[in-house]
Amino acid sequence: MPLGIFGFMALWSPFFILALVFITVVYFLVTVKWRTSFKESTPLTGKEAAYFLLAILLLYAIKGSPVEVMSTILFSAHMTQMALLYLVVTPLIILGIPNWVWKAIINLPVVKPVFKFMTKPLIALLSFNVVFSVYHIPLVFDHVRTDVTAHGLATVILFLLSVVMWWPLLNPADEDIDLEGLKRIGYILGSAVLLTPACGLIIFAENPLYAPYYDSEAFMKSLALCVPVDTLQGMSLTGPELFTSMSILNDQQLGGVIMKIIQEIVFGVMLFNLFFQWYRKDMEKQEKLSYDPVVDQTRTE
């Protein structure tokens, strides 16, 4: 059955496009036109703008396109969506917002004490991964995916906690966080390990875990979160089997595998970048020593 039955509004989310356009306009107004109104502001770099625009485009691709509807039909699409949102979009947004903007935000009296506590490496590491794992407990997941308020709240909380999780690694504007060398490697590996139990539960489960993907009533409630109710009226949909030949269990297992693979790729890139930075610093140090006149004089004597 084609997804076109859900209509243009559900599949392409024009209001979400407008919201993202508005956010993008505000971003450029603050970082370019109004920049001189802020202390210690610096010109927006091409790299920062590229990171932010890429994050906005990817955000629309996973939350405003047919992928959003597919995430209510296929658990694998849902896990792909979550992995990209919290492991790719979040760091792009952090890198895309200039340091002076971050400083202005985190130094607000209401934000500063909470942010300072939540971004302590151990707290940051545990908070996202624990909440993500709790989210995927079947009883919790079933409620969140069938209640509009709980779904919106869970999405916002997980996004904020993903910012907290990424902050100690990217750390664009906080001198108080000291996460260098082996600590950074430990942080990355720790995050990978903490997410493993949730993925393992999903991958090795012998039965379908989540009602919105096997129960017709829960399935329709889940669809109602992204498809207008008047569009759903009159439709006799029983479950995902109308849209895919994949079994519910196989789809569930695929979702767990996708989440883990994307996580490993992202953290693998982070580790590669870390080792590359070490290598470059070591080469610069050796190059400096080789051209140090004091060293050359000593060698001559």
Query: What pLDDT does 10 receive?
Result: 92
Question: What is the token pair recorded at 223?
Answer: 């669809």
Q: Is residue 1 pLDDT above 70, yes or no?
A: no
Residue 282 and residue 183: Cα distance in Å, rounded?
A: 18
**What number of other Cβ atoms are within 10 A of residue 239's Cβ?**
17
3-state helix, strand, coil in the chain (%, to 5): 75, 0, 25
Run of H or E including 95: helix 90-96
What pLDDT, on a 0 to 100 scale, did the predictor assign at position 277?
Answer: 80
For 301, the token pair is 């004597």
> Domain map of the chain by residue range?
9-230+244-280
With tokens 């010109």, the residue in question is: 43
pLDDT band for 284, please (50, 70, 90 cuts): confident
* pTM of the complete model beyond 0.85: yes
The conformation of residue 241, written as its DSSP 8-state character, comes to G
24: three-class secondary structure by DSSP: helix
pLDDT per position as a tens digit, 109-145: 999 999 999 999 999 999 999 999 999 999 999 999 9
Residues whose CB is less than 8 angstroms from the CB of residue 194 and which lie 6 or more positions away in sequence, other chains included:
125, 126, 129, 130, 133
25 DSSP assignment: H
What confidence tier does 234 reach under pLDDT thresholds 50, 70, 90? confident
pLDDT band for 187, please (50, 70, 90 cuts): very high
